[in-house]
Amino acid sequence: MFDFELSPAMQNIREMIHWFAKTEIRPLAIEADRTHQVPREFLMKLVKMGFGGGSIPGRFGGGKLLGEPEGKKKESEINRIGAIAMEELAWGDPAILLNIPGPGLGGPPVMIMGTPEQQKMAFEVFKDTENPHWGAYALTEPGFGSDVAALSTTAVKDGDYYILNGTKIFITNGARADWNVVFATIDKSLGRAGHRAFLVFKRTPGFKVGKIEQKMGLRAAETAELIFEDCRVHKDFLLGGEEYYEKKVKGGGFKGAMKTFDQTRPLVAAMAVGIARAAYERLVEWINENYMINRPIPRYQRIRELLVEMDREIKTARYLVWQAAWMGDVGKPNTKHASMSKAYAANVAQRVTSKALEIMGRDGLERDNLVEKLYRDQKVFDIFEGTGQIQRIVIYRRLFTKLYHYT
């Protein structure tokens, strides 16, 4: 049974990460937004401290994962601790959070689909503690975002190689990543059954980086265009190997992408919760500095009502995140709950930051103001990893499974 109370261990982790976000991340937020980059010294500090953007299995230098079952304890807490960490780090700054070295979104598909040899190739790079390293996840293309069935990057077999041609866009850390998990199709007429996932390393012939996006929000996070022109990828870098698709899992590439989202959507939702909470707390500080909010003035009453609504929505979003993460920890199918948490949390972040700006007026809109930055940062959370519309389709189909079965 899911418990909304954090265990003492989880509470300690939450407090530790909040302290780090407050003392190390938040002070860098505005300057990183202005310069569109995070100091290398800070990134190296993260590497030395063992922070990882995405889980690195212990056998590849990551140490024991927080929340792994041990002794007689059978229930994992990895996903819940991940969600707690994402909220606190995003409270510090979501763009800096996306800079944290590690496998990132590329980690889950490697763990889900990759062979032991492929996992070793991908994760061993993170044993290097003298330099920051990243992995990345390359799915989105100019012709589609959330509609994965429209995948058009091609992979044509040529002896022991696959020849990749196509373009990926909006890839977080894609330019500096040591490797990208790249999705392509061997035959578009097969639809999702033709999807394949490849581990593509830097300097692979035919792979190059295009433009780095200049964005409205999350300015300090690298978002890259990746171009594949007759890119030759050896069959050993087809995630899972050819048998994974031919015998073991039909539609394996598509299913691997979707399983990744089941793990990562609650984490993205947790980041949205962190953004909303940061804006809400700054708004409360500002109100206390500028108003005697308890005075019986109609406008003040409306502000009090808005604060109550914000607090309620933030807590509701957090509990949706925790439930989806808990289901992942105990092995329950969580596709619907993962989508519910992401769709709702993204909307909460938008509403809270928008109302905070409305109440603060000019003070909120001035440059170098935290709330103005958070308002820009939150927008993408209703877009990446599946838009809000896509999340609602996923939820609907699972709420009405029988209806879909018979129609």
Q: Scanning the structure block, which residue is given the tokens 């933030």?
A: 314
Task: Count CB atoms within 10 A of the CB of residue 244.
Answer: 19
Which tokens in the block code for residue 390? 């896509």
Tokens of 24: 């190390």
Q: Tokens representing 197?
A: 């996932």
Cβ neighbours of 146 (radius 10 Å): 18
- Give the C-alpha separation, 202 to 270, whole Å: 31
Closest residue by Cα to residue 352 from 303, 301, 279: 279
Task: Kindly give, in sequence order, each residue whose CB lies less than 8 Å from that of residue 8, ignoring residues fewer than 6 positions away.
Answer: none
d(CA 33, CA 229): 33
C-alpha count within 13 angstroms, C-beta hemisphere, residue 330: 9
β-partners of residue 200 are 180
What whole-number distance in Å separates Cα of residue 180 and Cα of residue 167? 13
Dihedral Cα 85, 90, 92, 93, nearest 10 deg: 140
The radius of gyration of the chain's CA atoms, rounded to the nearest angstrom, is 22
3-state helix, strand, coil in the chain (%, to 5): 60, 15, 30
The pLDDT of residue 251: 52
Burial of 168 (C-beta count, 10 Å sphere; 0-12/13-18/19+): buried
Rounded-to-10 torsion of CA 3, 9, 13, 14: 30
Cα separation, 328 vs 360, in Å, equals 39
**How far does the chain reach from its first CA to its final CA, in angstroms?**
34
Whole-number pLDDT of residue 52: 67
Tally of CA atoms within 13 A in the half-sphere of 164 that contains its CB? 32
> How many Cβ atoms are within 10 Å of 42's Cβ, its own excluded?
16
Q: What is the pLDDT along the chain (407 residues), one digit of tens a residue?
A: 667 788 888 899 999 999 999 999 999 999 999 999 999 999 998 888 877 665 555 555 544 455 555 555 567 888 899 999 999 999 999 999 999 999 998 998 898 889 999 999 999 999 888 899 999 999 999 987 667 778 999 999 999 999 999 999 999 999 999 999 999 999 988 888 889 999 999 999 999 999 999 999 999 999 999 999 999 999 999 999 988 887 655 555 566 667 778 888 999 999 999 999 999 999 999 999 887 777 777 777 888 899 999 999 999 999 999 999 999 989 898 999 999 999 999 999 999 999 999 999 888 887 668 999 999 999 999 988 778 888 888 888 888 875 554 33
Question: H-helix or E-strand containing 135?
Answer: strand 135-138
Indicate the SS3 state at residue 181: strand
Domains annotated for the chain, with CATH where assigned, are: 8-111 (1.10.540.10), 135-252 (2.40.110.10), 254-406 (1.20.140.10)
All residues at 6 or more sequence positions from 141 whose CB lies less than 8 Å from its CB, including other chains:
150, 151, 152, 153, 166, 167, 168, 169
Q: Nearest-5° angle of CA 104, CA 110, CA 114?
A: 170
Catalytic amino acids? 385
pLDDT of residue 407: 37
Distance CA 20, CA 147 (A): 37
* List of residues 6+ apart from 212 with CB closer than 8 A: 175, 222, 223, 224, 225
Alpha-helical regions (H) of 129-251: 242-243
